[in-house]
Amino acid sequence: MAQRVLIVDDHVAFAEAVAIAVDAHADLECVGATPNVDEALRLTEARAPDVVLMDVYLPGVDGIEGTRRIKASNPETRVLILTGHTELDILTQAATAGASGFLPKESSLQEVIDAIRVPVDDKIVVESSTLAALIERLRDTERASAKHARDSARLTRRELEVLGHMREGLDPQAIALQLGISVHTCRGHVKSLLLKLGAHSQLEAVVIAAREGLLADLSS
């Protein structure tokens, strides 16, 4: 079954180019392109996209709030922030809102297609250098809260090891290889981490963990 893709971008030519590229692949289907969040929410409810490509700067409601609203009503929908703006504050806000990854607009169409095809929770779609900088920003500006201190105590040693590799942007297959465990077992640890941290994606889990001090004692 083809993955359904919704494009939310007010640059019409760009959105049309991505839509054409998506529809050129048998395993993908563009279910709409819209320049604003209100229409994106309507299309999300009507057509249930698997993936939403979301610009940040949109007329009216911005893409960060749009991401938050889509994830609130459709938590299984994966949102990729597709933008020409890579300021860490924006990336942090988007990740906290539930974005699964970031793609610069200068990405090739093939890179966009590859990101869309990544299975949910299988990979953090973001350059490792950007991820590292984002984590450092969170470490510098946030402190762990008492509420999540008890969550960190619930993480097993193995889950902390998996979390450390997630911080590096590794997918479950690569993490399983590093730890000498099966991919099935590794996926179980990832799902457990997402549940305990209240995250919808690996990226959001890493952001939450960094913000709340859970990565402080992990080796680099």
Residue of higher predicted confidence among 8 and 197 = 8
pLDDT tens profile 145-169: 444 444 455 788 899 999 989 888 7
Please tell me whether residue 145 adopts helix, strand or coil conformation. Answer: coil
Whether pLDDT at 143 is above 70 = no
Residue of higher predicted confidence among 43 and 110 = 43
CATH superfamily of this structure's domain 3-118: Response regulator (3.40.50.2300)
CATH of domain 144-211: 1.10.10.10
pLDDT tens profile 69-82: 999 999 989 999 88
**Which pLDDT score is estimated for 5?**
97
Q: Which of 56, 120, 58 is nearest to 88 (CA)?
A: 56
Chain position carrying tokens 């793609």: 103
Q: Which of 7-11, 131-135, 168-172, 210-214 has the lowest mean pLDDT?
A: 131-135
Domain locations in the chain as residue ranges: 3-118, 144-211
Residue of higher predicted confidence among 208 and 63 = 63
Q: Which of 119, 101, 215, 91 is nearest to 165 (CA)?
A: 215
Band the pLDDT of 171: cuts 50, 70, 90: confident
Mean pLDDT of the residues in the chain: 82
Residue of higher predicted confidence among 204 and 19 = 19
pLDDT tens profile 59-114: 999 999 999 999 999 998 999 988 776 666 777 788 888 888 888 777 888 888 98
Extended beta strands in 46-198, E state: 51-54, 78-83, 101-104
- What pTM did the predictor assign? 0.67
What is the CA angle 140-96-17, rounded to 5?
A: 120
